[in-house]
Structures are given as C-alpha cells and as structure tokens.
Amino acid sequence: MPLYLAVGGGGDVVMAAALAGEEAVGQIPWERYVVDPEPGPVPPPSLREVLDLGNGLYLATPRSFAERGGRLFKTQGMCVAEALQKSVYLVDPYRRPSELAKALVRFDKIIGVDVGGDVLGVGCEESLRSPLADAYGLAVLAKASELGVEAELWVMSPGADGELSLEYLIRRVAEAAREGGLLGTVGLDSKQVEVLEKLVKRCVTEASAVAVRSFKGEYGPAHIRGGARLVEIGACALIGFKFSPKALLKLNKAARLIYESDAPIDKAADLLIENGIPTELHLEQLLAKGLDIYAALEELKKKKSC
C-alpha cells in the first residue's frame, strides 16, 4: 500500500489527500499559528482519539482531535479524515528521521507531497520562512529509501505558498534534473480537483486552494496570508514535479544537515539556526513571546546566513 505523506506543515495534507484517492494519506501534524499558537508540531501526548501504531506512527479517525495549550482543535489531517470519512496517518517528528523511517516500512511506497516547493530551496533563501518541516520530511524519505522503501518527493503547485518565486523554483528543478533527480511530472485531473475543492472549503489551507482557483480559470497575481504573500494563479498550480529524495539532499542544505545528524525536529531547528537557517519553529517561538510578525521576521533575518 502506498502512503501519500504531506511533508510540509498544515494544509499540505489536503493536496496529498486529493492525489491519493483511495490510497493512504499522512501528515506531519504541524499547524499554522492561527490554528495552534503553541510553537512546534503537535506532540503525541496532545493527540486524542488516535490509534498508536508504534514507533512514532498514529492513525487518526474522523473522531480524532488535539488538545494543546488549553485549546481543542483538529489538525488538517484530522479535518481530512472527517471530511472524507477515512483514516489518516500522523507521524511524530520528535523522532529521529531514521526511527520514523523504520515505522514507515509497512508501506511499499511513500510519496512525499510538498505544496509550493519549499523543499527545493537551500533553506536560507531571503523569502523562505518555513524550511524545517519540508527539510525534515525529505530526510525521513531519504532514510526510508535506504531501508528498501520506494520513495519519491512530489512538489505540487510550485510557488503557491508565496515563499519561493516560480522563476527560482523552475531553476531549482533544472538543477535537480542535472543531478539525475527529476523522475517526471504529475498533473491534477477534474476528479482530484473536485476532492481538493471539497477539502479547501472545510480545512485551513490557502496554498492548496490556489490549484482550485486556477482550475476554475483564475489567472494573475493574488495575495494570501492576509496580504502578506503574493502568489501567481495559473496553470502551473495544476502540475507537480517528481523527485528522488536522495538527489534533492544534494540541493537542500537544511535537509542534508538534518539527514546527516539524524536529528528530531526540535533538535534539527537548533542545528539549522546554528548554520544560519532560522525556521518556522523559531518564528513561532518569537510570536509566542509577544512579538508581532514583522518584528519577529526582522529578528530572524539577522540570523539568516547562507
């Protein structure tokens, strides 16, 4: 059985579910600040009504929810489970990538899904705010491939999260291709967009919604994240690129550092900032201390160095 695993945070699982159809879907349970203001991914002790499958793998049902910081909420994977009436896997990123890879050998194929293309970055690009979840997910996929699991990384709707420009991402695709890491392309069909539209109406995601808007004929620049990011609505949001995880490690410095140190996500964040790569975890920690978003971003900009 293949697993479509959203390697980024938040709403990437919506796209993964649309691509998966009847196959298994999973996510790293890390929610946007508007859903869960506690910094970092949702830890296993905060998961409710889930089945513990062991070694950092959990199964959420339509009844599942999370309880954290005095708040009750559903991760977007749990939202997908409720909307589609199917179970969704959750992985524990507080485990080492090698540990989590061992838990995933039950699947004969793992397709990592990243909406937007942050995973194609180096990790410290000026416009990149959230390199950590994608880099950690890439490290897990690379470790799983070493255990004999067929693994691919799919970048869907390049540029749709407003972090890395489409022009830059296409150049990075070319660099991956020169490394022999480009495996092919994938496109969304009408049935998948129908599922995607159903999910974006119920779950919290803006990047995955760009594909729906594009399929309906919208075209041109548009703002997301309350006007903080600019994206291009258009046909490119309906396609994706397939990559070899091991090849992408050569391009993604953040993922390579995590892979080589085999660090769980919280320790990985410390490692990355020591190497000039501040992450979404550091941003959330500053927001939790009371800084506004602009002050927090300026603080992290001082620590960014490629």
> pLDDT tens per residue, the chain (306 residues)?
899 999 987 889 999 999 999 999 999 999 988 899 999 999 999 999 999 999 999 999 999 999 999 999 999 999 999 999 999 999 999 999 999 999 999 999 999 999 999 999 988 888 888 999 999 999 999 999 999 999 999 999 998 888 899 999 999 999 999 999 999 999 999 999 999 999 999 998 888 889 999 999 988 887 777 666 787 888 999 999 999 999 999 999 999 999 999 999 999 999 999 999 999 999 999 999 999 988 988 998 888 887
**87, 25 contact by CB (below 8 A):** no
**6, 13 contact by CB (below 8 A):** yes
Which residue pairs from 202-205 have beta carbons closer than 8 angstroms and sit at least 24 positions apart in sequence? 202/79, 202/82, 202/83, 203/11, 203/14, 203/76, 203/79, 203/80, 203/83, 204/10, 204/11, 204/31, 204/32, 204/34, 204/35, 204/76, 204/79, 205/10, 205/11, 205/12, 205/14, 205/76
Residue in 12, 8, 92 with CA at minimum distance from that of residue 53: 92
Can you give the pLDDT at residue 206?
Answer: 86
Residue 38: partners with Cβ closer than 8 Å, 6 or more residues away: 68, 69, 288
CA 299, chain centre distance (Å): 24
Can you give the pLDDT at residue 158?
Answer: 94
CA 86, chain centre distance (Å): 20
Pairwise CA distance, residues 49 & 45, whole Å:
11
Can you give the pLDDT at residue 214?
Answer: 92
Task: Provide the token pair at 68.
Answer: 């954290």
Can you give the pLDDT at residue 226?
Answer: 66
Residues linked to residue 72 through DSSP beta bridges, in sequence order: 67
Q: What is the pTM of this model?
A: 0.96
Pairwise CA distance, residues 251 & 123, whole Å:
9
